[in-house]
């Protein structure tokens, strides 16, 4: 297991690595679900930083050209802390589509929901604790799973599960 994950008091027992190709496929699958809603959004709001890449893919697929961000810091490389709002969005969220890569414990999603209560919230990946806070997602993983996004990793040798 990655050293960063086992330092988080054993909270993460599994790794779920996501490749760039898989992320693109999953974001496109989310785009299909959003397109099927037959809704026209005024703008996409990406939750930074993780929501930036999926938001770009979804914006392309849905033909949305206006993209904004809410900036909330809740993670460092190994721990989740209290969310800190770095950049807000004015209004109540009417006509906005919020995109994030992952809803985990829901702490960031709660902040965004309170900020933009009328927005539609979509995440590519969801964990059980955060899932009720989003309107739609594509893939659910266990709460004890660390999702290793492609922007947080590089290819390297990994020991076999059973050892040598």
Tell how many helices (H) and how many strands (E) occur in the chain: 4, 8
Can you tell me the distance from the alpha carbon of 22 to that of 100, in angstroms, rounded to the nearest whole number? 16
Can you tell me the distance from the alpha carbon of 141 to that of 136, in angstroms, rounded to the nearest whole number? 14
Can you tell me the distance from the alpha carbon of 87 to that of 72, in angstroms, rounded to the nearest whole number? 7
Question: Catalytic positions, please?
Answer: 100-101, 104
| Cross-strand partners of 121 | 98
DSSP letter assigned to residue 1: -
Distances (CA, A) of 84 to 69, 87, 134: 14, 9, 20
Is the Cβ–Cβ distance between 147 and 103 less than 8 Å? no
Which residue in 154, 107, 148 sits closest to 125, CA to CA? 148
């Amino acid at each position: 297991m990655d050293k960063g994950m086992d330092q988080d008091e054993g909270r993460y027992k599994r790794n779920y690595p996501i490749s760039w190709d898989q992320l693109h496929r999953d974001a496109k699958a989310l785009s299909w679900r959003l397109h099927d809603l037959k809704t026209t959004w005024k703008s996409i709001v990406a939750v930074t930083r993780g929501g930036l890449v999926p938001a770009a893919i979804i914006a392309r697929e849905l033909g949305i050209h206006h993209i904004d961000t809410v900036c909330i810091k809740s993670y460092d490389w190994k721990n989740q802390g209290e969310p800190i709002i770095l950049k807000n969005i004015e209004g109540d969220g009417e006509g906005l589509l919020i995109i994030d890569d992952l809803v985990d414990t829901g702490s960031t999603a709660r902040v965004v929901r309170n900020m933009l209560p009328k927005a539609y919230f979509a995440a590519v990946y969801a964990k059980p604790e955060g899932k009720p806070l989003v309107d739609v997602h594509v893939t659910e993983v266990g709460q004890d799973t660390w999702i290793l996004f492609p922007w947080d990793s590089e290819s390297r040798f990994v020991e076999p599960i059973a050892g040598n």
